[in-house]
Structure 1
Amino acid sequence: VQVCGDLFMCKHKYLFFADLSLEYKRGRLVLEVPLPSRNEKCLFFLRPMLMNVGDLITDLQREDSGVTAAVLSKDGERVANSTLIEALLGKDFLLVINDVCYNVCPPEKAFATSEHARDMEDMKHIVHLLHTALHLPEHHLLKERQLLERLDNLKQELTPLEKMKAQLSQTAEFHSSRVMWTGMALLSVQGGALAWLTWWVYSWDVMEPVTYFITYGTSMGVFAYYVLTKQDYVYPDAKDRQFLHYFYKGARKKKFNVEKYNELKEELAEVEEDLKRLRNPTQLQLPLEQIQPKP
């Protein structure tokens, strides 16, 4: 018997035959191959419908860089690297590793039920990936068109609301600023009146109890503000509270729907985020939590 090839001939005394173990373990097809450089056996899991002969040789050389491998038929003909493992398992074949030729006997088909089921799942996955690769650009374009149309509709709905909101914000800002300036004026008048009464009308002995009760009354007013609003009396917070008070008061008069405006703004932000993710392929499959910047 003569095996075709440059280095492998059965008539050479350094070439001998041995059997390799090829069997199913836990539903997977496993090939047990002795590696010459490491002098140990290594298990290679085969996927008949997804792997070819070239993949098997690549896996062998990846595990042992000193391996020179080839796959031959029982007749001594070299099997092409593009041949699927599924086709190779139809009959016995030879695996040549360096100067050793191994005889490989595929297991019976009767024991390949679970492997066949797993191969079918792999095939379904490949079909799904192929379908996605063929139709994903078209789907992206359609989705982008839908998002752009929705974005345009939202902006059209928000345009009159934005104008009305700007007017209400300007009016509320004016009223809240006027309240702050009124408070400033009242405090200035109160300070001037107390100074006039202290130095020109009465003495400090008379005005000291008055100022004490004024301070005490102011403390009671601040505490009452906290009880009613559950907030400390801080000037920026107090101004914001007055702004919201006048804003909602004006919204009721102008019949401005604040809830609808907020819903439209939230939906607009979601559409813009979806459009941003759609136009960035590297972030399309990532969860939203990984994309949004941390505060």
Structure 2
Amino acid sequence: MLSTAAPQACPVAPAAPSAQPTPTPSPVPIQLIQRSGLINLILPLPNAEKCSFTLYPNKTVKDLITDIREEERPNSLVLLTDKNGNRISHETPISQLLNQPFNLVIDEELFSVEPFKIVQTTDNVLGNPDLLEIASHGYHEKIKAMLLKEATKRPFMNYSEYERWCEQFGMSKEKTHQLSKAFHKIGLVLHFHENSALKDIIFLKPSIVVDAIAANLNIKFQTREAPLLRSELHKLLPLYLPLNNVKQDLDVRAEKKAKRWMAGALAYLTVQFGLLARMVWIDFNWDIMEPITYFVGVFTMMGGYLFFVLYNEDYTYKALENRQRMLALKKLYISEEFNWQKWNALHQKVLTYTKLLNVDLEEEVKGLQSATIPKTLQ
């Protein structure tokens, strides 16, 4: 639930008249327009154009100021004050800011913002009367469920098939079209109704289309917090890369030890086979050796069952090798005093940052002189 408390205000110390002129109220009004459930602030730019800033409830005043400065105002003085002239804190949530009127000061201009005078747009497809009627009957939820279920089977479908679904609920072609536009707008599906080549196709998995376009155009998507995330990543790399190099070296040594153990097991089985063969054909005979070989086989089967009981996985050669590798790695961690928990915490953070930034780790470590580039990122 959004708080209804007044925004946090910080008293502004009176400045000397020569240090900062008193802001002049701007003759250009600021509009607040609501689109798709979100409030947009329409602000004039220095080039006489207007720019729309979306006021996300979970953002803060600091985010809004940063967005304003990025639009042709990089060196501007931007701050928000209440009607009494007290500066509003940067940490104030947008949801709390919109509870009462406030002033937006940009350099020497003062813009008055009235949150209670929000203009409701009528061009929003989600507010179409036909869709309101569909929603009142719950048809959209049923068709949405059908589309989601169909998306698990195939990536796209014909628009004519979608029309037949809607006809089952007695929907007209116009209502069917408006509903597809609404589903397209919220990102449930992709339907390019204005494109003659694609209007007969509904893409049930929008992510596939977006990924395909991005791959063909060599586009890498990044979040708006990319500079901050990259800065945090660069702070972690000098701590992470040396530990990762040590871990890779220990992994290689543990792998070699596991291979040697498996080779030793093969040598043991070879010697066992030779001894049993000699005892069958030279020292004794099959009548004497048959129960001995039976017990050797049962003992081996019991060993496999014990492996399953201890480690909760099937007894296979690969599982046995992995188990030996893990045991060797554990001993190496102890003998080399390797802090695996610290490495794992840093590793998870690095993976998160590289995924959000959509970058390769080796590209990020270029230019960092305090660490070496790892061969692989496990």
The TM-score with structure 1 as length reference comes to 0.48
- Bigger Rg, which one: 1
